[in-house]
C-alpha cells in the first residue's frame, strides 16, 4: 500500500507542476499584454496632450483677436476717432481746415 501512495503523489505532483506552468504562462502573457497596452496609451496621451496645448493656444489667440476687435468696434462708435481716421487715412478735413503734410 505504501507503494501506491508514493505513486499517486508523483502523478499529482506532475499535474500540479503542469497547471502551475500553464498558470504562470497565462499570467506572463496577460502582464505582457497589459504592459503593451499601458505604454501604447501613454504615447497616445502624450500626442493628445500636445494637440490639446496647440488648440488651447489657438483659442487664446482667437480670444485676444476678439478682444481687439471689440475695442475697435467701441472706438468706431466714437465720432472723434472716426474724424481722426478720415483725416489720417483718407486726407479728409473739415471745412475751413487745411491739412498739413509732412515729408
The pLDDT of residue 83 is 86
The pLDDT of residue 26 is 97
Q: Which of 100, 74, 76 is nearest to 87 (CA)?
A: 100
- Measured from the Cβ of residue 86, the count of other Cβ atoms closer than 10 Å reads 13
pLDDT tens for the 103 residues of the chain, in order:
455 555 555 556 888 999 999 999 999 999 999 999 999 999 999 999 999 999 999 999 999 999 999 999 999 899 889 888 888 887 788 887 777 776 5
Q: What does the alpha-carbon distance between residue 28 and residue 20 come to, in Å, rounded to a whole number?
A: 12
What are the structural domain ranges in the chain? 2-76
Phi, psi of 97 (to 5 degrees): -100, 150
Q: 57, exposed or middle or buried, with CB in 10 Å at 0-12, 13-18, 19+?
A: exposed
Amino acid at each position: 500500500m505504501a507503494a501506491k501512495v508514493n505513486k499517486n503523489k508523483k502523478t499529482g505532483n506532475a499535474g500540479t507542476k503542469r497547471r502551475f506552468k500553464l498558470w504562470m504562462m497565462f499570467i506572463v502573457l496577460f502582464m505582457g499584454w497589459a504592459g503593451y497596452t499601458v505604454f501604447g496609451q501613454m504615447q497616445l496621451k502624450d500626442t493628445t496632450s500636445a494637440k490639446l496645448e496647440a488648440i488651447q493656444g489657438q483659442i487664446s489667440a482667437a480670444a485676444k483677436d476678439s478682444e481687439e476687435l471689440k475695442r475697435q468696434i467701441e472706438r468706431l462708435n466714437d465720432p472723434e476717432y472716426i474724424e481722426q481716421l478720415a483725416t489720417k487715412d483718407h486726407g479728409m478735413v473739415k471745412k475751413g481746415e487745411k491739412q498739413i503734410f509732412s515729408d
